[in-house]
Amino acid sequence: MSFQAPKGTFDWMPPRSERVLAVRDALSAPARRAGYGYIETPAFEDTGLFSRGVGESTDIVTKEMYTFVDKGGRSITLRPEGTASVVRAVLEHGLPGGPLPVKLWYSGSYYRYERAQKGRYRHFSQVGAEAIGTEDPAVDAELIVLAVDGYAALGLTGVRLLLNSLGCAECRPAYRAALQDFLRGLDLDEQTRQRIEINPLRVLDDKRPEVQAQLAGAPLVTDHLCGACKAYHEEVRTLLTAAGVTYTDDPRLVRGLDYYTRTTFEFLHDGLGSQSAVGGGGRYDGLSEMIGGPPLPSVGWALGVDRTVLAMEAEGLFDAQPATVDVFAVPLGEEARRAVFGLVVALRRAGLSADMAFGGRGVKGAMKAADRSGARFALILGDRDLAAGAVQVKDLTTAEQTAVPIAEVADVLKGKLS
């Protein structure tokens, strides 16, 4: 019997998996430099956290959650996103009593039972950052700049930023009502009609051409913002422009999660086909209260690691075959094997990346393994070398070979590699 990864999931395998590490590192580095601390939360939570936090009427909650009853009879859900968990942890640890905002970043696996296609998986990875407990347009702008800088550090040039404001508890109800009035007059199927009553903003995000065609005259949220939301949004835009960030105002941008208020944004890449969002986020001033906490105005984002790798591949930003180690050692004979093992351990402890031929292959097989490893240098050790206290250092790019005393090999290699 053989198994395959479940539908909608896949394995990141070397050498391509190195790209995942590089992307995670680069996307989180700007946040780390800006004082965001690392948070790790469980991969599963009480189901209620997501149904209340993400929103009962969202696709995520109604269709996409991996929910099960555990052996203790609790309803548990594999996290479909990170923000609700982070806010839950901040409340649970009493952090709102301390200095605000609480700035946190995270990285991990998320689970959504989505229709699988390129760029849309049932298990995927995000890097996220959240600034919790402060209402200040500078925090919104800070987070957007951090994401922009993360993509730029990876060399990506094709990421576009869409920006919108969804208003607040003051002005959203009037907009919602105006939108519902408009939508009720359209020719829509029964399911969409139900959506108008529950979550009308999501109808704007309907991708079907026959729906989009009817939405041309829909009221725009930006025309319904209250004075405070307008001023707040204007300040975010001013700060972004001052920081050299290019963005497109998109009054139709709605997000797939219900907790958003005011600033919302999405990063798109055109090299990915239909799943073009490489990241997204926004302000969620009401989320804490939705899950039983005090008012805690907050903002954050999550960037898709898998899709960012795809975007980089679309831009041709990776080397074809990244080297895995600098040095690959080949023993010729049993006694040499023991010496090579010790030498490789010593080289690693000296800070070099080194591997060796395992499994008692012949010289030919071992040299092939050295070539395949992508290493710059091969170390070849036979009985005669061993008697002379030396090892052959072969430059695998030039095929040049020299004997180096074993005691000096770490320093010699470090010199050659620097």
The annotated binding site is made up of 81-83, 112, 126, 130, 255, 259-260
Under the rule (CB under 6 A), what is the footprint of ligand HAM? Answer: 81-83, 112, 114, 119-121, 124, 126, 128, 130, 256-257, 277-282, 284, 300-302, 304, 306-307
In the complex with ligand HAM, which residue's Cβ is closer, 41 or 324? 41
Residue 241 CB, nearest approach to ligand HAM (Å): 22
In the complex with ligand HAM, which residue's Cβ is closer, 77 or 373? 77
Report the C-alpha dihedral over residues 114, 23, 369, 392, rounded to 10 degrees: -170
Residue 128 CB, nearest approach to ligand HAM (Å): 5
Strands 248-249 and 298-304: unpaired
**What does each C-alpha distance from 369 to 101, 337, 375, 397 come to in angstroms?**
52, 15, 10, 15
In the complex with ligand HAM, which residue's Cβ is closer, 124 or 151? 124
In the complex with ligand HAM, which residue's Cβ is closer, 178 or 317? 317
Residue 330 CB, nearest approach to ligand HAM (Å): 42
In the complex with ligand HAM, which residue's Cβ is closer, 82 or 219? 82
Residue 284 CB, nearest approach to ligand HAM (Å): 6
Angle at 158 between CA 25 and CA 121, to 5 degrees: 60
In the complex with ligand HAM, which residue's Cβ is closer, 89 or 352? 89
Residue 289 CB, nearest approach to ligand HAM (Å): 16
In the complex with ligand HAM, which residue's Cβ is closer, 8 or 333? 8
Residue 129 CB, nearest approach to ligand HAM (Å): 8
SS (H, E, C) 154-181: CCCCCEEEEEEECCCCCCHHHHHHHHHH
Residue 276 CB, nearest approach to ligand HAM (Å): 9
In the complex with ligand HAM, which residue's Cβ is closer, 122 or 394? 122
Residue 179 CB, nearest approach to ligand HAM (Å): 21
Q: Does residue 279 contact residue 129 with C-beta atoms inside 8 Å?
A: no
Binding-site positions for L-histidine read 81-83, 112, 126, 130, 255, 259-260
Q: Which residue is nearest to ligand HAM (CB)?
A: 304
Rounded CA-CA distance 318/310 in Å is 11
